[in-house]
Amino acid sequence: MSQEVVLPALGESVTEGTVTQWLKQVGDSVEVDEPLLEVSTDKVDTEVPSPIAGVIEEILVAEDETVEVGAVLARVGDGSGAAAAPAEEESSQSEAAEEPAAEEPAAAEESAPAEEPTAAETAAAESAPAEEAPEKAAEPAAAETSKPAAEPAEKQAATAASAAPAQGFDTPPADTPVGGYVTPIVRKLAQQLGVDLSQVKGTGIGGRIRKEDVKNAAANTANANDAATSTPAPAKFEVSELRGTTQAMSRLRKVVASRAVESLQQTAQLTTVVKVDVTKVANLRNAKKDEFLQKTGNKLSFLPFFALAAVEALQTYPIINSYVDGENIVYPAQENLSIAVDTERGLLTPVIKDAAGKNIAELANSVADLAARTRDNKIKPDELSGGTFTLTNTGSRGALFDTPLVFLPQSAILGTGAVVKEPGVFSTPEGDAIGVRSYVYLALSYDHRTIDGADAARFLTQIKKRLEEGNFEGNLGI
């Protein structure tokens, strides 16, 4: 008896989904909780597991078809109907496989006239294991090798003696130039410098090679080697297979595009940038990263330091954490931090709920967990909603800074650039000094309808001061 597989609820606000790919086909066996198909919604692409075990007897929704939550997707049963056809096909294949056994022996085929190979024979020959070719090629080689062995040993010795040139003290070495005599001193110098005399043109009387010729040849070779090693090969790049093609937008890309245009049309966005000296944070990170990894299992990057400083500033300046509701400004009671994650399907922003109560170890764990599950398409739709402020690490790909885009209903987003070392002026007890420092650019984009430039500057200044002080030992959580 077959049972129905329906589209489950994928989140509080998700009412429909599009089947993007069936991972199983009619006749395939499936276990409980084994992925059955992939579904795309407005919030996330996810896999739908099978609620029962059995054999897929019928698929009712085609790929790229959109259905509502609760719609029947497929029927799974014991496979009594779906498995019949494959069984017959396997039987016919087994009978066909037995037919070649009644063919003539290989010796009879060899005595037959040579014929043009058929397409099937050609394909079979190409798909044969690579080891067969060396074995067959070795047979004639072995036959040829065995022929000289059958000759008398005396005859082989005589042949070898007649073929070898007479060697004596008067015979010039192989590297002697044609028609040119080389003195023992010059020859010894060439050996010491690694110069091939056959490649040297003499400048002496009658084309004789002198010591100066050998030294010049050695110098030219050294210069050529230096030039070869000092000129690095150009970096290789990969040409994308998408070049010259036209591709349809994915459902996720359509949603992102629509919301991006909507946000720009309904908000007045601008960006403020500050440069922050994070040398003390970098020193603390280098000193604690091994211990942090050992105790937490996560790498200690700069991102949780930035997240902690930003969450603290959000509590001081809640206007950055607010959103517009009609003619009202709503100040949430929690700081729910959205983290931008780059995936193969597009940009997604999972949310760290109530980030104000977390230390650096907890923030690092939340970021690593959400990013991994988002990239592996294991994130839940509800984990992608409810954010009040976004943090995007634009420096992960080497960018110094950019002007990130605010997405409604949020009012601000903070972009963190790459941490780079530069010469800089810093204060010491003895006065100003110049040294190598670690810097990062922080770019805050915000909705100017409710957030003024002074608000943004105060918010960024608090983050800058917190990071430059670098006093995070008590916040590490290890």
**So what's the pLDDT on residue 97?**
43
The span from the CA of 359 to the CA of 352, in Å, is: 12
Q: Where are the alpha helices (DSSP H) in 103-210?
A: 106-111, 119-127, 132-150, 153-163, 184-193
Among candidate residues 33, 64, 354, 452, the one labeled active-site is 452
Look at residue 263 and tell me if it is in a domain: no
448 included as an active-site residue:
yes
The span from the CA of 403 to the CA of 414, in Å, is: 9
Of residues 347 and 183, which shows the higher confidence score? Answer: 347
Q: Domain range holding 289?
A: 268-475
Q: Over 60: is that where the pLDDT of 145 sits?
A: no
Look at residue 126 and tell me if it is in a domain: no
**So what's the pLDDT on residue 309?**
97
Radius of gyration (C-alpha) of the chain in whole angstroms: 38
Average pLDDT over residues 226-250: 81
Whichever domain contains 42, its CATH number is 2.40.50.100
The span from the CA of 176 to the CA of 170, in Å, is: 12
**So what's the pLDDT on residue 65?**
87
Of residues 4 and 389, which shows the higher confidence score? Answer: 389
Look at residue 396 and tell me if it is in a domain: yes
Look at residue 132 and tell me if it is in a domain: no
Q: Over 60: is that where the pLDDT of 95 sits?
A: no
Band (214; pLDDT cuts 50, 70, 90): confident
Band (229; pLDDT cuts 50, 70, 90): low
Residue type at position 161: A
**So what's the pLDDT on residue 81?**
53
Helix (H) or strand (E) holding 223: helix 211-230
Q: Which residue has tokens 């940038």? A: 273
The span from the CA of 7 to the CA of 9, in Å, is: 7
Q: Which of 43, 77, 111 is the last residue of a domain?
A: 77
Nearest to residue 275, comparing CAs of 428, 473, 431, 420? 420
Look at residue 244 and tell me if it is in a domain: no
Q: Which of 77, 95, 129 is the last residue of a domain?
A: 77
Q: What is the mean pLDDT of the chain?
A: 80
Helix (H) or strand (E) holding 336: none
- What's the 3-state SS for 51-109? CCCEEEEEECCCCCCEEECCCEEEEEECCCCCCHHHHHHHHHHHHHHHHHHHCCCHHHH
The span from the CA of 362 to the CA of 304, in Å, is: 9
Q: Over 70: is that where the pLDDT of 103 sits?
A: no
In the chain, the percentage of residues whose pLDDT exceeds 90 is 46
Interval 183-212: pLDDT, tens: 767 787 888 888 888 888 887 766 778 778
Average pLDDT over residues 465-474: 96
Least confident of 140-154, 216-230, 401-415: 140-154
Q: Which of 77, 94, 113 is the last residue of a domain?
A: 77
The span from the CA of 212 to the CA of 199, in Å, is: 14
**So what's the pLDDT on residue 227?**
61
**So what's the pLDDT on residue 226?**
65
**So what's the pLDDT on residue 49?**
87
In the chain, the percentage of residues whose pLDDT exceeds 70 is 75
Interval 45-92: pLDDT, tens: 788 888 889 999 999 999 888 888 889 999 998 866 554 444 444 444
Least confident of 37-46, 161-170, 231-240: 161-170
What predicted TM-score, i.e. pTM, was given to this entire model? 0.61
**So what's the pLDDT on residue 361?**
97
Among candidate residues 369, 382, 402, 448, the one labeled active-site is 448
**Cα 340 to chain center, whole Å?**
18
The number of distinct structural domains making up the chain is 2
Average pLDDT over residues 321-335: 96
**So what's the pLDDT on residue 370?**
95
Bond from prior residue into 423 cis (ω within 30 degrees of 0):
no
Angle between helices 211-230 and 184-193 (to 10 degrees): 10
Look at residue 236 and tell me if it is in a domain: no
Look at residue 330 and tell me if it is in a domain: yes
Q: How many CB atoms neighbour CB 74 within 10 A?
A: 23
432 included as an active-site residue:
no
Least confident of 304-313, 334-343, 424-433: 424-433
Q: Over 60: is that where the pLDDT of 400 sits?
A: yes
Q: Over 70: is that where the pLDDT of 96 sits?
A: no
Least confident of 157-171, 307-321, 344-358: 157-171
Of residues 163 and 240, which shows the higher confidence score? Answer: 240
Look at residue 320 and tell me if it is in a domain: yes
Whichever domain contains 382, its CATH number is 3.30.559.10
Average pLDDT over residues 383-391: 95
Q: Over 90: is that where the pLDDT of 144 sits?
A: no
